[in-house]
Amino acid sequence: MIDLNILKTKEYDFLRTNPHLGDNVCLLGMGGSIAYGTNTPDSDIDIRGIALNTADEILLGNDFENIVDTTTDTVIYSVNKIIQLLTNCNPNTIELLGLRPDHYIKVTDIGKEILNNKDIFLSKVAVNTFGGYAYSQLRRLDNKSARNLNKAEHEQHIINSIKNAEYSFHTRYTNYPNDSIKLYVDKNTNNEDDIFMDMSLSHYPLRDYNGMLSEMHTVIRDYDKLGKRNKNAIEHNKIAKHAMHLIRLYMMCIDILKYHEINTYREKEHDLLMDIRNGKYLDENKQPTNEFMNMVENYRLEMESAAKNSTLPDLPNYDAINALKMKINKQIILNS
């Protein structure tokens, strides 16, 4: 049982004193390992939540987006920001809608409204968002373990990550034909494996084009940064934790695709996830075993199969989402 009296301590005063929080918080719950059911006696308490935007912010088009307290590992999103993230089926936020009932700390009427309408955010977009996050965990394993990737595999990993990011381009930038951007690995002038791009766009907004290229650049930059943290990850035994989250992400995505359910707490798979976290699937050199990598492939294939057979819509219910957002914001303005 989690002792919630800790939230009354001084280090959590910001929940009561921050002008964006206090009575504006409409949903508060556990995050991290407690939410997943993979916590240990040494696990920290992570808090996640949603706070209402003020009437002034709504009318002026302003948004505080989120409040982050690194000391307590607490993140509180504004309603407007989290709706945007939920629409994209962002794994870090969609899990807040699928906690165990006793893991919710505060739920107001508006909080209940969001929870009761969680199905409107579910779509096949989950394949790319959860798949993208899972792939980032796999990248970490590849970078942080002793498994040696050749240059072509290295570049293909980057391409796959860019493709996951590209999936949402069609909803955030001016639309373009699916075959307009092609990424592939080929030999450069030095006969080395490199990433190449074929792009065919006509009468396309320059700012949108620049935005897409900027996001692709960020993927490459972040991937290169991972290599610099390899030694630290191995020394602090983070490989097993990354491995566990990789499998957990696939599990959650499969539930969404097959059953239209957000199951953050992994009760049925608890023992398997803890075995992974505790290093059962690492060899004597603390590297992922072939058995684990086969497990990863099996879950990936199950996710792809679930996506093909899922009855979820390709895209979230934008009309219902906008209606929910307007209902909440209208209520805030009328009550101000």
What is the per-residue pLDDT across 181-204, written as a single tens digit (0 to 9) for each? 999 999 999 998 899 999 999 999
Banded model confidence at residue 159, pLDDT cuts 50, 70, 90: confident
Do both 143 and 291 map to the same domain? yes
Do both 190 and 93 map to the same domain? no
Do both 277 and 321 map to the same domain? no
Domains in the chain: how many in total? Answer: 2
Do both 157 and 304 map to the same domain? yes
At residue 305, does pLDDT exceed 80?
yes
DSSP one-letter string for 67-93: EEETTTTEEEEEHHHHHHHHHTT-HHH
- Pinpoint the alpha helices (H) of the chain: 14-17, 32-36, 55-60, 79-87, 91-94, 109-116, 125-144, 151-166, 169-172, 206-228, 230-235, 239-259, 270-277, 290-309, 318-335
pTM over 0.85: no
Q: What's CA 151's distance to the chain center, in Å? A: 27
Domain interval for residue 133: 125-309
Do both 323 and 286 map to the same domain? no
Do both 282 and 141 map to the same domain? yes
pLDDT in tens, 45-96: 999 999 999 999 999 999 999 999 999 999 999 999 999 999 999 999 999 9
- Pinpoint the alpha helices (H) of 149-264: 151-166, 169-172, 206-228, 230-235, 239-259
Do both 187 and 73 map to the same domain? no
Do both 150 and 71 map to the same domain? no
Share of the chain above pLDDT 70, in %: 90
Give the number of residues written for the chain. Answer: 336
Do both 224 and 290 map to the same domain? yes
Do both 91 and 200 map to the same domain? no
Banded model confidence at residue 9, pLDDT cuts 50, 70, 90: very high
Banded model confidence at residue 2, pLDDT cuts 50, 70, 90: low
CATH number for 23 = 3.30.460
- Residues whose CB is less than 8 angstroms from the CB of residue 313 and which lie 6 or more positions away in sequence, other chains included: 123, 124
Do both 321 and 220 map to the same domain? no
Q: Do residues 201 and 209 lie in contact, with contact meaning Cβ atoms separated by under 8 Å?
A: yes
Q: What's CA 8's distance to the chain center, in Å? A: 29
For residue 288, the 8-state DSSP code is: B
Neighbours of 218 (CB within 10 A): 12
Do both 118 and 150 map to the same domain? no
Q: Do residues 89 and 255 lie in contact, with contact meaning Cβ atoms separated by under 8 Å?
A: no
CA distances from 220 to 5, 47, 105, 215, 282 (A): 43, 31, 39, 9, 28
Give the mean pLDDT of the chain. 88
Give mean pLDDT, residues 146-174.
Answer: 72
Banded model confidence at residue 115, pLDDT cuts 50, 70, 90: very high
